[in-house]
Every structure is written in C-alpha cells, then in structure tokens.
Amino acid sequence: MKIRSQSFFFIFFISIIFNILASPTLQRDALLEFKNEFPFDASDPYAPSEPPLSSWNTSSDHCSWNGVTCDANSSEVISLVLEYTYLNGSLKANTSLLKLQHLQNLTLYSCDLIGEIPFSLGNLSHLKHLNISDNNGLTGEIPSSIGNLSYLSFLDLSHNDLVGKIPSSLGNLSRLTVLDLSDNRLIGEFPSSIGNLNQLTIISCYSNKLNGTLPSSFSNFNKLSYLLLTGNKFSGGDLPLILSNLTSLSYLDISVNHFKSKLPSNMSGLHNLEVFRVNTNSLIGTFPTSLLTIPSLREISLSENQLEGPLEFGNTSSSSSELEVLDLASNNFYGPIPEDISRFPKLEFIDLSNNSFIGPIPRSMPQLVSLKYLDLSYNKLDGQVPSFLWRLHTLTLSHNSFSSFEEDVVNGSDPDLMSSNSFQGLSKVDISSNSLQGSLPGWICKCTSLSFLDLSNNLLSGSIPSCLVNCTASLGYILLRNNSLSGFLPDIFTNATELRSLDVSRNQLSGKLPKSLINCTSMEYLNLKVNKFKDTFPSWLGSLGSLSVMFLGSNAFYGPISSHFGFPSLRIIDISHNNFNGTLPQDYFVNWPEMSSMVGNEYYELSDGIDTFMSRMGGLSYEDSMDMMYKGVDTEFQQILYVFKAIDFSGNKFTGRIPKSIGLLKELRQVNFSRNEFTGSIPSSLANITNLEALDLSHNKLSGNIPRDLANLSFVSYLDFSHNLLQGPVPRSTQFQRQHCSSFEDNLGLYGLEDICGRSQTPGDTQESEEFSPEESEEVLNWIAAGIAFGPGVFCGLVIGYIFFTSHKHQFFTEKFGRNGIKTVR
C-alpha cells in the first residue's frame, strides 16, 4: 500500500513538472531565448535591413509569431518553421529548442546556420519532421542521435557541408518516408541497416562522395517512388535484383557514378516509372527493350555507358506512348536507326550521338511531330539531309557522311517547307564535318531565329548568299570554314550585333572586307585565314571592343599598318603570309592592353560534349577541334587546352627594326617575326616577356648579338634565330642548350654552338632521328595550339598550334596547309 502511494505521488509530481514546462509563459520564453542565441549584427554586409524574428516579442501571443504553430488547446509549440531567416550562427548544444518538448516539426531552411548539428537534437523525441537544409555553413557529421527520433517520418539535411559516413542508427527510423542527404560531402557506403526503412518513398543522396555497392536490402523498398543517387562514386550492387523489385518507382536517377553491371532483363513490372536516368556509368549489355512496355515512361537516358549491339525497340504491342526523351549517346550501338522510332509520337529530344549508326535518317522520322532536339553527330550516317528537320529547334548532324540536302528544300519546290513559318523555330544547325556538296542552301535565309550555324568542313561551293542578311540579327556564330566557297564576303552585317564568332577560313573568298563588320559589336573571334582577301589592314575593326582573336593570315592583304590602331581586348593576332610592308614604329605595341595584362589569363578545360544531361536538353555548344601530325601520327585533339596570348607577323615584307615596345606585352606566350626584312639588333626588351614559350626571328636581316637576358626566359621551349646576320656568343642556359642546331644556322658570326650542334643532328645528317630534317625545319611555323572559350553554355575556340617536347630535344609541329605537319580541322 505504501509503495502504491509513493508511485501516485511521483506520477503527480512529474505531471506538475510537465504542466509547468508546457505553460504558455515558459514556451514563449524558450522561443525568446532561442532568438537571443543569434544576435543580430547590423554591420554585417550580408545582414537584412531589419533584424530577423522581429515579430517575436512579449507584446503578442507567441502562437501568432512568424513560423510558430501551437496546439489549439494547450498552446504548446508543435511546429517551428523558419525559412530564409538570417540567423547567421550555430545551434547550441543546450539550445532552448530542447524546452519545446512537444515539437513535432522543426524546419530551419536556408537560415545561414554554421557549425555542427548538435547531438542533443536527438532528445526532441516527438519530432516527426526535421528539415535543416540549405545551410552552406553547416558542417560536421550527421549526429547518430537522430536515430533516436522514433516518430520521424521526414528527414532533410540536404545542401549543407556535412561530412563523414551515414550513421547506421538511421536504420532505427522505422516510420521514415523521406530521406534527403543530397549535396553534402558524405563518404562511404550506405549502412546495411538502411534496408530496415521499408516505408521510404523518397531517397535523395545525390552530389556526395558515397561509394561502394548498393546493399541488396534496397530491394525491400517496394514503396519507393523516387531514388536519386546521381553524382557519387557507387560502383557495384545487384542492380538486376534491386531495380526489378522497386515496383512503385516513378523517378530513378543513378547517373554519374561508376556502376558496372547489366540492367534487369525485364523491367516491365515498374509500371509507374516515368524517368529512367542511368547515364554516365559503365553499364554493359544491350538496349533494355522491356522499358518500352511501360506506358508512363517519359524519359530514357542511357548515354555514356558501354551498351552495345543494334538498336531494337521490340515487337510488343504496348509501348511508351508518353516517351519524350531518348538519350543513348556515347555507347557502342550500331546498325541502322530503326524505322519504328515513329512509335513514340511525343518524342521531343533524341540524342544518338557518338555511336556507330549507319545508313540514312529513317523515313518515318517526320511522323515525330513533337521533335525539337535531334543530335545524330559522330556516327556513320549518310544520304540526304531530310527537309523535315528544318522545323526543329536544334539540329546536330556533324561528323557523318551526309552528301546533300533534300532536293525540295534546295530548289524550293515545296511551298509549305519554304514558307517562313516552317523555319522560325530553328535556332541551332550543326552539319559540320560531312561531305555536303553544292551551294549553300537557300533555306538558311528563312531562319530568322537562327543563332548558331556551322557548315564547316564540307565540300560546299559557290558564294555566300546575300540574303543571309535576313537572319544575321540573331546569329551569334557563323562557321563556314574549310569549304570551297568563293566570291566576296557579302555586306550582310548591318544588324549583326549578336555575332560573336565569324569563321570563313580555308575557302577561296576574295575582294575587300565588308565595312558592315563594324556593326558586329559583340564580335570576339574573327577568322579569315587562308583565303584570297585583298585589302589594306582593317584598322577600323579596332572599335570592336570585345574582339579577342583576329586571324588574317595567308591572304593578299597589303600595304603598311597604321601605328595608331588599338584593339583593347585582342589576345591573339595573326597577319602572317600577306604582303604587309613598311616599318613598325618603336612605340607600336604601346596600346595593346590585353596582351600586357594578366587580367583574363584564366585557364579553361572544356569537355568534349556538354557537361550534364540537362544542359544537353537546351544548351548550345561549340567546340573547336584540330587534327595534328603528332610524332608522325595524324591525331585529333578535341579539347581546347588554355588561353594563349600571341602575335604572328611572319611572312610579310616589314623592314626596319623590331619595335622595342614588344617587351611591354608581358603576357605573350608566342612571338613570331620570321620571314620579313627586319634589320638592326634583337630588342633586349624581349626578356621582359617572362611567360614566353616560343620565339621565332628567323629569315630576317638582324645583326648584332643575341641578348644575354633571353637566357632567363625559363618557359621558352622553342627558339629560332636562323638565317640572319647575328654574331657573338650564344647565351648559355638550359633553354638555349635544348634547341636544335638548325635554330642558329646561317649566322656566320655566331659561336659557342659546340654543345648544341655537337649533340644535334647536323644539316647533312640523314639518319633517322626524332629531330627534324633540314626540309622540315625550313617549314617550321611558329604557332602555339591556342584556344579560347566564350560565354555561358557556349564554347568557342580556335587553333593556331604547336607541341613542344623537351627531353634534350624539341619537336615543333606546324601548320603546313596540306603538307606534313599540323592538319587543322576547320
């Protein structure tokens, strides 16, 4: 009886304590204490104009405060939801939130929290919903105490800076339906205990550093609707078992991992599936035709895997009638593109690039009336380019063997196709690197929304049509290089204010440059090389404030160059192999700010496609490529390496002294004044160009000594002083000693060459060697492989090109326009 009485009083005492803790005043005070844990600093430049939580004060009921929800009967705080509230501090281990013992929902979304998640949060035993996401300053590990929150159904710790492994204690959260740990720096594998969470409907752990294998217990998640693991390092797991059992799945994204597996042979049981995204892994096998039996499927992305075989869509009666996206790029599929691709009438996006498909474009493809994006590049397709394609938004057919455009478009025999409305949506056209013949098609002039046109590396002839003026107002890129186009460059640039890149190099264009180019105020890249242009130097282009790269080489330009022109953004200029003449004033290079400044000297590394699937969906890309003779092997280089600053004045008729002001251009990597008639001494100011990698002064009439200070140019890999009137000692340094003997030949007054010419191949030596023969050395041109990238989502480049090797030798590969050396794909 006494024991029963003591138990009664204990329970009564505890109830009094809880009632006191739950009293409205104490609940209010706990919230105010929490507010005071984050003092407001008005001097903080990131602070809002007024203090956060300003509505929290004693003049009003705490249940009416912003973000606070109370129980209607007891006034206990059951929900605290703070979003975009500038707390700018850390959660304390003894935070006043612990006094809100009936709290069921705690959301601190994008509150600028810093520090670690306190272990003590595991004491909020009534929590059902915990969201502490999007706080970039939140660090540390996920506290294992969260596994004590037995009522928790929603856990979101995404978009923070959390580290460490996923604690196995999360496997205790048997009521959990949503687990979001994405965009952190978590490592390790999923704990095996994760398989206990059979109520999960969403798992999102993308953009972490998780690795290893997926536990087979993932197959227990028969209620799982969303699985997002993209951007990790997972490599294994029984995918056929796991995926086949996720029968409630509607959205799957395990892309950008290292999975090495086959896909399930039968996925028809995933009858709710809408998105199947497994791209950028190492999956093997054939195309999973069972996917196409799922009526709800909207997207299939299998790109960048190792799938192989012919593409077959199966003979099933049911099909994915909702399919909008088919991305099979960068696999090993071969054979023809199936004619029954027309079974999917809602297709908007098709990417079959970088495979080995053959034959023509299917005749049935015009039935895909919703199609907007088509990429069939880097295959072995041939035949005609069908006319229906001009109704698309983005068309990429590059690097195939298409021979012509469909005749009704070329001749305009189809009035419906030739109407302006049929072309108004067309924005990007890339049919470069094919075998297209004939003249430029007239339909181009109908494309009034065209922003990107690339017909380079074909066999097109005739003139550039003047009607192109109809679409130059929207064009950002006109790339027609390496064809057989002739005639004048038409005066079509009056409204071309969006044009950023014009490349008509390696054609047979002639005449003067159109003055309307002065209107191209966005121009960054101008390439007119290897044509027959006959004009004076276009100093008037100096008003184009964005022009960074200008190639005028190998034309018939003539006359002196103005000493006062200024190109404020110019990084690379090539006026080589023309008929320019006269002297260059000593102050000639004074007003070239971009080449003397380190501003903008960033490094770029461009991928050989577009980085993500979503950017491929709508992104615009341009990537320069080049084909170079590399150690005797014709090698294709697809990636732009980095931004060079360079000048090439070679192969002209300049006289007088080389301007001393060249030394002001301290960021130059390449200087070439060869094959002119320069006289006088080599300017010692060249030693100020500390990043210089290649210097060619050969085939001039230079006299005097080689300046000793040039020996201090530590990055120089290529030097050529040959065929001049130089005398005196050759400077001694590692850079000079590594040069070939031919770099100093035909300078009868030079001495100190014993170490260089003693080990190098002599001019008469015909034995096989990795050095150049005399014939090759005469053809050595002076350019560094250079590239430049312009604009978000847009890649633009150029090639001038060199490759150096320096293990007691160097090899300099040069552009020879059809001879041995660099063969540039234009």
Q: What is the pLDDT of residues 508-531, one digit of tens each?
A: 999 999 999 999 999 999 999 999
Residue 217 sits in the same domain as residue 150: yes
Tokens read off for 452? 């990107």
In terms of Cβ atoms closer than 10 Å to its own Cβ (0-12, 13-18, 19+), residue 818 is exposed
- Is 739 inside any structural domain? yes
pLDDT band for position 810 (cuts 50, 70, 90): very low
Q: Which residues contact 17 (CB under 8 A, 6 or more apart)?
A: none
Does the pLDDT at position 417 exceed 50? Answer: no
Does the pLDDT at position 317 exceed 70? Answer: no
In terms of Cβ atoms closer than 10 Å to its own Cβ (0-12, 13-18, 19+), residue 764 is exposed
CA–CA gap between residue 397 and residue 603 (Å, rounded): 30
In terms of Cβ atoms closer than 10 Å to its own Cβ (0-12, 13-18, 19+), residue 740 is buried
CA dihedral 449, 454, 459, 460 (to 10 degrees): 30
- Is 270 inside any structural domain? no
Does the pLDDT at position 822 exceed 50? Answer: no
Domain boundary residue among 47, 74, 103?
Answer: 103
Structural domain count of the chain = 4
| pLDDT at site 567 | 85
* Higher-confidence position of 117 and 314: 117
Q: Look up tokens 């150029």; give the residue.
A: 798
Q: Which residues contact 423 (CB under 8 A, 6 or more apart)?
A: 390, 391, 443, 446, 447, 448, 449
- Is 462 inside any structural domain? yes
| pLDDT at site 816 | 29
Residue 339 has what DSSP assignment? Answer: G
Tokens read off for 425? 């949506």
Does the pLDDT at position 15 exceed 60? Answer: no
DSSP calls for 60-117? S-GGGSTTEEE-TTT--EEEEEEES----SB--TT-GGGG-TT--EEEEET---EEE-
Does the pLDDT at position 818 exceed 60? Answer: no
Do 270 and 245 form a contact (C-beta atoms < 8 A)?
A: no
Query: What average pLDDT does range 21-36 have in this prediction?
Result: 86
CA–CA gap between residue 188 and residue 779 (Å, rounded): 56
Tokens read off for 18? 């809880």
First to last CA, the chain: 100
Tokens read off for 56? 């929290």
Can you give the C-alpha Rg of the chain in angstroms? 35
Residue 675 sits in the same domain as residue 802: yes
CA–CA gap between residue 258 and residue 455 (Å, rounded): 37
| pLDDT at site 563 | 67
* Higher-confidence position of 21 and 75: 75
Residue 420 sits in the same domain as residue 520: yes
User: Which pTM value belongs to this model?
Assistant: 0.82
- Is 390 inside any structural domain? no
Decide: helix, strand or coil at residue 580: strand
Tokens read off for 432? 């470069």
Q: What is the largest CA-CA distance in the chain?
A: 124
Query: What average pLDDT does range 536-544 have in this prediction?
Result: 93
Domain boundary residue among 103, 122, 137?
Answer: 103
Does the pLDDT at position 609 exceed 50? Answer: no
Query: What average pLDDT does range 696-720 have in this prediction?
Result: 95
| pLDDT at site 598 | 63
Residue 633 sits in the same domain as residue 600: yes
Mode of pairing for the β-strands spanning 670-672 and 626-630: unpaired
Average pLDDT of the residues of the chain? 84
Tokens read off for 558? 């003539």
Distance, CA of 376 to chain centre: 20
Does the pLDDT at position 564 exceed 70? Answer: no
CA–CA gap between residue 194 and residue 563 (Å, rounded): 74
Q: Look up tokens 């079509």; give the residue.
A: 492
Percentage of the chain beyond pLDDT 70 is 80
Exposure string (b/e) for 391-405, b if CB count within 10 Å is 16 or more?
bbbbbbbbbbebbbb
Strand positions, DSSP E, 293-390: 299-301, 306-310, 325-327, 332-336, 349-351, 356-359, 373-375, 380-385
Task: List the CATH number of the domain containing 164.
Answer: 3.80.10.10
Residue 604 sits in the same domain as residue 490: no
Query: What average pLDDT does range 757-769 have in this prediction?
Result: 46
Does the pLDDT at position 759 exceed 70? Answer: no
Q: Look up tokens 């502490």; give the residue.
A: 132
pLDDT band for position 600 (cuts 50, 70, 90): very low
| pLDDT at site 422 | 60
Tokens read off for 201? 């409907």
pLDDT band for position 421 (cuts 50, 70, 90): low
Domain boundary residue among 82, 103, 124?
Answer: 103
Range of the domain at 150: 113-261
Tell me the Ramachandran region of residue 315: left when phi exceeds 0, alpha when psi lies from -120 to 50, beta otherwise: alpha
Residue 72 sits in the same domain as residue 213: no
Residue 750 sits in the same domain as residue 680: yes
pLDDT band for position 755 (cuts 50, 70, 90): confident
Candidate from 71-80, 194-203, 415-424, 547-556 with smallest mean pLDDT? 415-424
pLDDT band for position 412 (cuts 50, 70, 90): very low
CA–CA gap between residue 808 and residue 579 (Å, rounded): 37
Q: Which range is most confident: 447-451, 499-503, 569-573? A: 499-503
CA–CA gap between residue 155 and residue 162 (Å, rounded): 14
Candidate from 171-175, 254-258, 607-611 with smallest mean pLDDT? 607-611
| pLDDT at site 319 | 65
Strand positions, DSSP E, 401-516: 401-405, 428-430, 437-438, 452-454, 459-462, 477-479, 484-488, 501-503, 508-511
CA–CA gap between residue 354 and residue 5 (Å, rounded): 83
Does the pLDDT at position 11 exceed 60? Answer: no
| pLDDT at site 823 | 35
Query: What average pLDDT does range 433-459 have in this prediction?
Result: 93
Does the pLDDT at position 631 exceed 60? Answer: no
In 3D, which of 213, 207, 212, 296 has the Cα closest to residue 247?
296
Residue 691 sits in the same domain as residue 562: no
- Is 385 inside any structural domain? no
Query: What average pLDDT does range 541-563 have in this prediction?
Result: 92
CA–CA gap between residue 382 and residue 19 (Å, rounded): 82
* Higher-confidence position of 762 and 182: 182
- Is 606 inside any structural domain? yes
Residue 565 sits in the same domain as residue 584: no
Residue 592 sits in the same domain as residue 679: yes
Give me the long-range contacts of 699-703 (CB less than 8 A, separation at least 24).
699/674, 699/675, 699/723, 699/724, 700/673, 700/674, 700/675, 700/676, 700/724, 701/677, 701/725, 702/658, 702/678, 702/726, 703/679, 703/727
Per-residue pLDDT tens over the stretch 274-308: 999 999 999 999 999 999 999 999 999 999 999 99
| pLDDT at site 43 | 85
Residue 232 sits in the same domain as residue 196: yes
| pLDDT at site 318 | 58
Residue 545 has what DSSP assignment? Answer: T
Does the pLDDT at position 253 exceed 50? Answer: yes
Do 369 and 394 form a contact (C-beta atoms < 8 A)?
A: no
* Higher-confidence position of 388 and 644: 388
Residue 780 sits in the same domain as residue 660: yes
Does the pLDDT at position 46 exceed 90? Answer: no
Do 726 and 704 form a contact (C-beta atoms < 8 A)?
A: yes
- Is 787 inside any structural domain? yes
- Is 656 inside any structural domain? yes
- In the sheet with 484-488, reading across from the earlier edge strand, the strands are 437-438, 459-462, 484-488, 508-511, 532-533
